Structure 1
Amino acid sequence: MSYQVTLKTSGKQFSVSQDETVLEAALRHGINLPYGCKNGACGSCKGKVLEGQITHGQHSENALSKADETAGGILFCCSHPQTDLVVEAREVQGAGDIAIRKVPCRVNTILKPSNDVAILKLQLPAAERFQFLAGQYIEFLLKDGQRRAYSIANPPEQEGPLELHIRHLPGGLFTDFVFGAVSPALEEKDILRFEGPLGNFFLREDSKKPIIFLAAGTGFAPIKSIIEQMQAKKITRSIELYWGGRCPSDLYLNELCKRWEQEIPDFKYIPVISDGLPEDVWQGRTGFVHQAVIEDHPDLKDFQVYACGAPVMVNAARNEFSSKCHLPEEEFFADSFTSAADLVAS
């Protein structure tokens, strides 16, 4: 059995089978609804049911509260129709023409700029031309059928390997493999497979608004891709990059960001540390990184914000930028880096 979903604004329709979510069906039909984590943790795919009934799978209440759900709120990534639906949703333009494919790759290099961050560079087959938008991600296809998602850190225009930034989460299925906490460990020249590109975290080039990039930890990776794409395409917009970490070593490419301040016109870099130690001798901003934005920009109504990192940061930024700083909802773009720990039963 399948159900019909109608998007109220555009009038587009698509069918959803019993074994797929609304988001999966939309993407299968070439309709790009906004999404980030695809597992109910980030809230990027939130919309509203105007007509019909759905059931929600496991999701975080930070992404969709019970009050939101009662009012008709829906997370497209974990919802299954029980009837035909009419929904309210924003559609994303720009990613639909790039094919999602499964691709083999060879590990070219594994660099560790800090104790818990690895930079992987993946060499694709010689004849392979992998297309993606700056800011998108790939999913590694693991032997047991599980997947792990990582953002691409280099721009599409750059020739050579794909670059990924991976933080070690002790006990993590893939990150323990990368960091040698299990045997055998990942080594250079190993062969992996991934699927991509995925996601709709990418620069909206039709806007001239000033940009605030907000990164926490390895959430810096897709933002690096976008900034370097802007450099390559000579896109000139006012940019402020806020990069937050617990300690200075979390800002593992700090010198690159400082160099951007010298190279890119109208670019400002604001590093922020939340849990520094006296021995760090940190002289810069402290506290939560999204709060630094609020302190500097009490009025965000004329900005675009691109936020990437842990769901707790992304959700706090989304809510407070809107409620306190007047940021229009449609000008907040996000990619949440989620793990099983980020999910709680609804």
Structure 2
Amino acid sequence: MAFNVTIRQSGRQFQVEADEPVLTAAIRQGIGLPYGCKNGACGSCKGSVISGEIEQRTHSSSALANDEKTRGMALFCCATAKSDLEIDVREVSGVGDMAVRKLPCRVNALERVADDVVVLKLQLPASERLQYLAGQYIEFLLKDGKRRSYSMASPPHHEGPLELHIRHMPGGVFTDHVFGAMKERDILRFEGPLGTFFLREDSDKPIVLLASGTGFAPIKAIIEHAIHTGITRPMTLYWGARSKKDIYLASLAEKWVADLPNFRFVPVLSEPTEADAWSGRTGFVHRAVIEDLPDLSNHQVYACGAPVMVESAHRDFSAHHGLPAEEFFADSFTSAADLVNAV
């Protein structure tokens, strides 16, 4: 059995099968709904159910609170239809033009750039090219049926291998393998491109790029795409990490500063060591943005990294510093651990 889903604002319709998440059906049919993690942890796909009945499956309580449920809100990545639906959710143009595909790839290179970060480069078959938007991600298809998501750090125009930045999560099946057993020429399979985190090029607003840890990866792709396409909007990169070594490509960011008159780079350390001899900014990275830009009403913000950083930035920027809700774009790097407090 299939049900019809109507998006209130545009009137667009698509069909969802019984027991199929609404978001999955939308992606399958090229409908651009906002999303990030696809597992109920980040809240990016949140919207309202105007009419009809859904079943809301397991999700993080921080992504969808009980009071939001009572107001008719839903996470469409883990909501299934029990009837025809009318929903109210912001559509994302552009992503529907990118075909989601399953592809094999070969490990081209593994470069350790920090104690716990590897730059992984993937070579596609000679006859294949992945079309994607800078900022999107792929999902590795593991042998046990599980998936692991990583953003592409290389921009779409790049002719060489796909570049990913992978942080070691001790005890994590995939990252333990990457850091312990993976070698060049290994074969992997992935699905992509996925996600709605990408640069909105129809705006002329100054851009704030906010990264924590390896959240720098999709931010790097966005910056390099902007450079390639000649975008001249002012850009400021705030990159937060624990210590100096965790800003693992600082030299690249400093090169952008030297080459681009409209580009600023602000590294922020939360736990600098004595060996760092750090005289730069410290504390929470999103607080550094607020210190520099107390009025964000005429900016766009692109935030990527740890869920606590993304959530804090979204809350504080919108509630206290004038950022319009529709000008905050985020990719929250969630993991299975983020579903511990699931409901």
TM-score above 0.5: yes
CA distance in 1, matches of 2:255, 2:189: 34
CA distance in 2, matches of 1:149, 1:138: 6
Q: TM-score, normalised by structure 1?
A: 0.97
Match of 2:251 in 1: 255
CA distance in 2, matches of 1:292, 1:62: 24
Partner amino acid, structure 1, of 2:51: E
The alignment partner of 1:206 has SS state of: coil
Match of 2:324 in 1: 328
Spell out structure 1 runs of 4+ moving beyond 3 A.
Answer: none
Deviation, 1:89, is 0.6
Match of 2:342 in 1: 345
The alignment partner of 2:215 has SS state of: helix
CA distance in 2, matches of 1:251, 1:124: 28
Deviation, 1:19, is 2.3
Deviation, 1:2, is 2.5
2:210 to 206, 211, 214: 214
CA distance in 2, matches of 1:291, 1:87: 35
Match of 1:193 in 2: 189
Q: Is 1:155 paired with 2:155?
A: yes
Match of 1:75 in 2: 75
Match of 2:146 in 1: 146
- Tell me if the contact between 1:106 and 1:192 (Cα under 8 Å) persists in the aligned partners: yes
Deviation, 1:3, is 2.2
Match of 1:13 in 2: 13
Match of 2:175 in 1: 175
Partner amino acid, structure 1, of 2:336: A
Match of 2:25 in 1: 25
Match of 1:91 in 2: 91
Within 5 Å, give how 1:222-241 maps onto structure 2: 222-241=218-237
CA distance in 2, matches of 1:72, 1:36: 21
Within 5 Å, give how 1:47-62 maps onto structure 2: 47-62=47-62
Match of 1:107 in 2: 107
Within 5 Å, give how 1:291-302 maps onto structure 2: 291-302=287-298
- Tell me if the contact between 1:168 and 1:176 (Cα under 8 Å) persists in the aligned partners: yes
Deviation, 1:277, is 2.3
What root-mean-square deviation, in Å, do the aligned CA atoms of Structure 1 and Structure 2 show? 1.0
CA distance in 2, matches of 1:268, 1:192: 37
Deviation, 1:66, is 1.0
CA distance in 1, matches of 2:305, 2:274: 26
CA distance in 1, matches of 2:119, 2:149: 14
Partner amino acid, structure 1, of 2:123: Q
Partner amino acid, structure 1, of 2:158: Q
Identity %: 62
CA distance in 1, matches of 2:57, 2:257: 44
Q: TM-score, normalised by structure 2?
A: 0.97
1:242 to 234, 238, 244: 238
Deviation, 1:280, is 2.2
The alignment partner of 1:265 has SS state of: coil
The alignment partner of 1:192 has SS state of: strand
Structure 1 residue runs without a partner (length 5+): none
- Tell me if the contact between 1:104 and 1:194 (Cα under 8 Å) persists in the aligned partners: yes
Q: Is 1:2 paired with 2:2?
A: yes
Provide the aligned length of Structure 1 versus Structure 2: 342
Match of 2:313 in 1: 317
CA distance in 2, matches of 1:178, 1:76: 32
- Tell me if the contact between 1:63 and 1:315 (Cα under 8 Å) persists in the aligned partners: no
CA distance in 1, matches of 2:272, 2:63: 29
- Tell me if the contact between 1:48 and 1:89 (Cα under 8 Å) persists in the aligned partners: yes
Match of 1:276 in 2: 272
Partner amino acid, structure 1, of 2:22: V
CA distance in 1, matches of 2:9, 2:217: 33
The alignment partner of 1:241 has SS state of: strand
Q: Deviations over 1:218-260 (max 9, x none)?
A: 0000000010011111111100100000111111001111111
